[in-house]
Amino acid sequence: MNILITGATGYIGRRLKHRLLSEDVNIRLFMKRDKPSIEKQNIQVSIGTTFDPISLEKALVGIDVAYYLIHSMDSKNYQELDRKSAENFREACIKQGVKRIIYLGGLGDKETASEHLLSRIETGEILSKQPDKIQTLWFRAGVIIGSGSASFEIIRHLVEKLPFMITPKWVNTLCQPSAQKDVIEYLAQAAFIDTPHSTIIDIGSKTMSYKDLLLGYALACGLKRTLIPVPFFSPKLSSYWLTLMTPVPYSVASALIEGLKSEVLLKNNNATKLFPNIHPMDYEDAVKETIEEIKHKQIISRWSDASGEAWEIDHSALSNAVFIDRQALPMGNHSAHKVYTTFCAVGGKNGWFGYDLLWRTRGAIDKLFGGYGLSRGRRDSRELRIGDSVDFWKVVDLQENKRLLLFAQMKLPGIAWLEFLIKDGTFYQTAYFYPHGLAGRIYWYLLIPLHFFVFNGMAHNLMKSIKDED
């Protein structure tokens, strides 16, 4: 069987790819750009986007089953883009004789759906519009409980940080969460099941309120937590609160909060009929399993993996930057490997080699402006791969024992990078900045005194930390 996975750099797609590697199938990934971070052993890669029908048709040649695991939520006009993307995908699949499209959307009703959910519903409707020409299995899932899932990260951060929680009334809304493992299992098995019709398959475990999710997490971790419901928490205030207390930025928090106002319950039992061997995991077990995964650093993907705007920018012409701060230090006896592994550990809980209070302040300012701040942290405290987020940076280049290039995803009046480079026995640390207009220039000049301490300190402390270890 030949399978195409779209969204292979995203949260769901990356995990599905991992799961399908254990099956006797040929996998082809459809990606916007080739990414060295994606493990590609025995896997073909086809480059393109769903907005380019030619690349899409090429990718679908000889494919039996095509997974549609993408969305355009990062864009302002995402509804329009998602409609176009789904139409192009369905038409290209029909043209290339694909037998089955498998799509994962969200649970919920059209009448009460948030704008984001509505777009996901529309995508499902467009993909399944020609059942006589192509079959579509449309899965619908609610909150996904698993390491790296945005909803789970919100629950985790709220419960772990706050012994008392003032909660809005949406905490009483009902939902049916799904363990991430179950979602991936349904999607993987969907390629092989024998069913002739296009079907909507709702997935989830037992019905709970969001309050139960918070208290259930506390119980699984042996924490005692008290929720105090108040009537005055507006969706806007709730979104700001989540942005402040959890790793998600305002855009993600507000989309999630909008979705929490209405119930998301299963409307059919097609999952039990078509997949009798899958028994949805209880919420408590899913939480325990996820905590184990985090403890053992087995996080395959995170909500922040998809690259968004980071790849819309040319990262190859850094030397044209208007402002540059470069630190160059001789490496002495230290091997390139030692220096490389040291700078690859930057960020997250490891900190920024000094002046962490300033970094935290910058993170807090970023959060205030709706950015990521420092709270995304790192997927793994040592290992990095291209596409990983490191606090408010994104890894856009990684060359073993040579280079780490971070692209700034913080709110800035310009575009910035931070590069760590090893060349001819010297360690270079360079900050690059392209200002946007006058505001960008004023920003850079105002920060010169702080940059002097922070960048200087970082390079020297980084090298010193190796000496201390030696």
Ligand X SMILES: NC(=O)c1ccc[n+]([C@@H]2O[C@H](COP(=O)([O-])OP(=O)(O)OC[C@H]3O[C@@H](n4cnc5c(N)ncnc54)[C@H](OP(=O)(O)O)[C@@H]3O)[C@@H](O)[C@H]2O)c1
Residues in contact with ligand X by the rule CB under 6 A: 6-7, 9-13, 32, 49-51, 69-72, 85, 104-106, 120, 141, 144, 149, 151, 305-308, 311
The nearest distance, CB 100 to ligand X, in angstroms, is: 17
Tokens coding 139? 């899965």
The nearest distance, CB 70 to ligand X, in angstroms, is: 3
Using an 8 Å Cβ cutoff, are 102 and 135 in contact?
no
> In 3D, which of 174, 229, 236 has the Cα closest to residue 205?
174
Q: Which is nearer to ligand X, 38 or 421 (CB)?
A: 38
Using an 8 Å Cβ cutoff, are 199 and 138 in contact?
yes
For residues 351 and 462, give the distance between their C-alpha atoms in angstroms, rounded to a whole number: 11
CA torsion angle 300 306 312 317 (round to 10): -30
Using an 8 Å Cβ cutoff, are 231 and 169 in contact?
yes
The nearest distance, CB 19 to ligand X, in angstroms, is: 13
Q: Which is nearer to ligand X, 73 or 331 (CB)?
A: 73
Q: Which is nearer to ligand X, 55 or 456 (CB)?
A: 55
SS3 state at 241: helix
Pairing mode, strands 26-31 and 2-6: parallel
Q: Which is nearer to ligand X, 49 or 456 (CB)?
A: 49
Q: Which is nearer to ligand X, 255 or 358 (CB)?
A: 255
Q: Which is nearer to ligand X, 105 or 363 (CB)?
A: 105
The nearest distance, CB 296 to ligand X, in angstroms, is: 21
The nearest distance, CB 435 to ligand X, in angstroms, is: 26
The nearest distance, CB 150 to ligand X, in angstroms, is: 6
Tokens coding 185? 């299992």
SS3 state at 185: helix
The nearest distance, CB 385 to ligand X, in angstroms, is: 12
Which residue has the closest beta carbon to ligand X?
A: 10
For residues 408 and 233, give the distance between their C-alpha atoms in angstroms, rounded to a whole number: 33
Q: Which is nearer to ligand X, 70 or 462 (CB)?
A: 70
3-state secondary structure 379-439: CCCCCCCCCCEECCEEEEEEECCCEEEEEECCCCCEEEEEEEEEECCEEEEEEEEEECHHH
Q: Which is nearer to ligand X, 21 or 365 (CB)?
A: 21
Q: Which is nearer to ligand X, 78 or 233 (CB)?
A: 78
> In 3D, which of 301, 305, 372 has the Cα closest to residue 148?
301
Q: Which is nearer to ligand X, 70 or 344 (CB)?
A: 70
The nearest distance, CB 334 to ligand X, in angstroms, is: 35
Write down the residue that tokens 């089955």 correspond to.
Answer: 100
The nearest distance, CB 451 to ligand X, in angstroms, is: 30
DSSP class per residue in 103-131:
EEEE---TTT--HHHHHHHHHHHHHTS-T
Sign of dihedral through CA atoms 17, 23, 24, 25?
negative
Q: How many residues does the chain have?
A: 470
Amino acid residing at 375:
S
The nearest distance, CB 426 to ligand X, in angstroms, is: 34
